[in-house]
Structure 1
Amino acid sequence: MKRWLSLFSVVVLGLLLTACGSSDSASGNSNGDKIVIGYFPNINHVAGMVAEEKELYEKTLPDGTEVEYKYFPDGSAFMTALETGEIQGGLVGPGPAMNHYMSGAEINIVAAGSTGGTVIMARNGSGIDSPEQLKNTTFASPRVGCTHDVQFEALMMREYGLKSDRLKGEMKHVTGKPATYSQLFASKRIDVATVPEPWASKIEEEGHGKVLIDTDEVAFGETLPAAVFVTSKELVENDSELVQNMVDAHKEATTFIQDNPEEAKEIAANKIKDITDQELSKSVIDSSWERIDFTYNVKLEDLQSFANASYELEFLKEKPDLKGLVDTTFIEE
């Protein structure tokens, strides 16, 4: 079983973007236009880091295209940037992409970035040894309704009949950045957390928490993309060649990760340190990597199942229909 990682308090459950900005910023022809790619500084987004380090977009985009990268702390900030044309595409959690699509945003998911990486952990010393013991406990997720929150709450409700206080249930919900969970465990402010990598491995290394439910048993843990590559539907319709250029670079980055895991780990560790000023040990990187599968393949049915769970948990007001969200044209051989 492979594991995945997410570094920053992110992957949120608000979906993604409307049309990309002006035709000047998105045309991507050879007249010196600029393309901005966005991603998060976490291990689920290593494809973005590898593409930047190896200058893969510079190789696939038309000559004369200036390439810049912008880093985001959460899905909401990414979606706003995509909607306003500040970026032309990049990696974001599936939750924000789906929610924004359901709200009318004209976007397309054109590839996946990775799967896995969500772990449910219990505080050491809490006396919690099984999910059945989570009644009347306090759990943390990065944000209300984010991807990791839905994975946790869907599992609790479906398998153990437990709900958060948001649904008048038996578990108290608080939010916070995953990077702070180790301290929250140490100070006994939370009992349980739904933790994206690399923070699960870091908590284990520091001895403040233990894995209660691993990636393969978390809801949608092995099938749901932890990151998806998104762009505007306007760009897909008006400049499909440019979108193909971007997806080709993303596919090349993903293949590089699969073929060169040790070099990709080094790139990830260095990039994360540069962006966040936080250094991860090799053991944390290695452990996180085992929970993640890097792939650009994406299936609409996997996203639809997740969206249905979001509706079941009342994060979405209307029953979701994601038809038209995913366009696999650009990843097909």
Structure 2
Amino acid sequence: MHHRTIRTSRITRAIAIMAAGAALLSGCAATASADGGADASSAPATELRLGYFANVTHAPALVGLEEGFFADALGDTKLSTEVFNAGPAAVEALSAGAIDAAYIGPNPAINTFVKSGGESAVIVAGAASGGAALVVRDGIDEPADLAGTTLATPQLGNTQDVALRTWLAEEGFATDTTGGGEVQITPTENAQTLTLFQQGQLDGAWLPEPWVSRLVLEGGAHVLVDEAELWPDGDFPTTVLLVSKTFLDEHPETVRALVEGHAEAVRFLADEPEQAAADLNAKLAADTGKPLDDAVLARALEHVRFTVDPVAGAFEEVLANGVAAGTAKDGSIDGLFALGILNEVLEGRGEPAVSAAGLGTE
């Protein structure tokens, strides 16, 4: 009896030790790394709530939804979507927990990261480069002609708003965030900008596609500044895929599925341009009630490059521009990118990895 008690005690201790070791290993596995490494013990999310804009610069989202790439990759995870006009509103929704991920411009992505001390959200992939410009009415042929004019942007602090304020400052024009200055900037919803321009109530606007092409072809505007001309090799970030850091930590496999669907949409845009354009216009029609004219869509697509590369090397300058424009708070963006999942997906597809430019994990 005595020996049996000792043996039982030893077995109990052994089981306890093994259980503790298993718990420790489980705890390690349950912790999702910031680079999006796979979490063996976390379950896929029951739902993924995705935000995007009804813009050509968000074509990977539109095509991914229309072709079912996201749904296929997500499997049993329900996909819900919400359409936004500009980035600051999408960031508000993400910060409030109303959405889990969003296609968004770089400036709002930077702003939420800096304001939260790196805790709110991270960029897990790029989506688009290019496709933004300043378009103006007849009679404005050089920067000096802008004195006393009123220009629109999608929303205060969004990527095109910062680009306009930065360029105007370089041209010697004073602006402020309340609509004052030598050139007045009035953040306006994109569809309303087209209407107001056609009515002669706006002198121009700095916009993303397809709104640049719509003002040109439907409103008689002309391009004064193509933003691509302001960046080395014309390469600058227009749209990235931003994910709630909490959601990434809790559901890395769901984020992986999102990135897989996204990468497939970007590939489809490159390999099947005609069908992708048809899908894009069908989704735009579903979201806005009206498809784009063929000429508008063709012109818009000529000015956008779709890529999973977030062009991370440009983000320090993007931040500096936002701070100088008065729409962003200065701070560190170290850790803004979590490209581990993307690069694993790319490796599986036989494609080259993309860089975080020292601003996060790869």
* TM-score (ref. length: structure 1): 0.83
Structure 1 residue 36 corresponds to structure 2 residue 49: yes
Distance in 1 (CA, whole Å) between partners of 2:176 and 2:336 is 32
Q: Is the 8 A contact 1:224 1:303 kept in 2?
A: no
In structure 2, stretches of 5+ residues that fail to align are 1-41, 348-362
Distance in 1 (CA, whole Å) between partners of 2:162 and 2:109 is 14
In structure 1, stretches of 5+ residues that fail to align are 1-26
> What does 1:77-226 align with in structure 2 at a 5 Å threshold?
77-104=89-116, 105-124=119-138, 127-158=139-170, 160-166=171-177, 169-218=181-230, 222-226=234-238
Distance in 1 (CA, whole Å) between partners of 2:237 and 2:85 is 18
Residue 274 of structure 1 deviates from its aligned partner by 0.9
- 1:282 paired residue number: 294
Residue 299 of structure 1 deviates from its aligned partner by 3.5
- 2:358 paired residue number: none
Distance in 2 (CA, whole Å) between partners of 1:103 and 1:227 is 20
Distance in 1 (CA, whole Å) between partners of 2:232 and 2:303 is 13
Give the AA of the match of 2:191: A
**Of 256, 264, 271, which aligns to 2:268?**
256
Residue 269 of structure 1 deviates from its aligned partner by 0.8
Residue 52 of structure 1 deviates from its aligned partner by 1.3
Residue 174 of structure 1 deviates from its aligned partner by 1.7
Residue 209 of structure 1 deviates from its aligned partner by 1.2
Counterpart secondary structure, 1:110: strand
Q: Which deviations, in whole Å up to 9, do the C-alpha atoms of 1:58-80 show, x marking residues without a partner?
A: 3223x432223222233233223
Residue 293 of structure 1 deviates from its aligned partner by 0.4
Give the AA of the match of 1:29: P
Distance in 2 (CA, whole Å) between partners of 1:186 and 1:250 is 36
Taking only aligned residues, the RMSD between alpha carbons, in angstroms, comes to 2.3
Distance in 1 (CA, whole Å) between partners of 2:54 and 2:281 is 10
Distance in 2 (CA, whole Å) between partners of 1:28 and 1:73 is 32
Structure 1 residue 268 corresponds to structure 2 residue 274: no
Distance in 1 (CA, whole Å) between partners of 2:256 and 2:335 is 18
The structure whose residues are more often helix, as a share, is 2
Q: 1:69 to 1:145 in 2, by over 3 A?
A: closer
Aligned length, in residue pairs: 301
Structure 1 residue 52 corresponds to structure 2 residue 65: yes
- 2:39 paired residue number: none
Give the AA of the match of 2:132: T
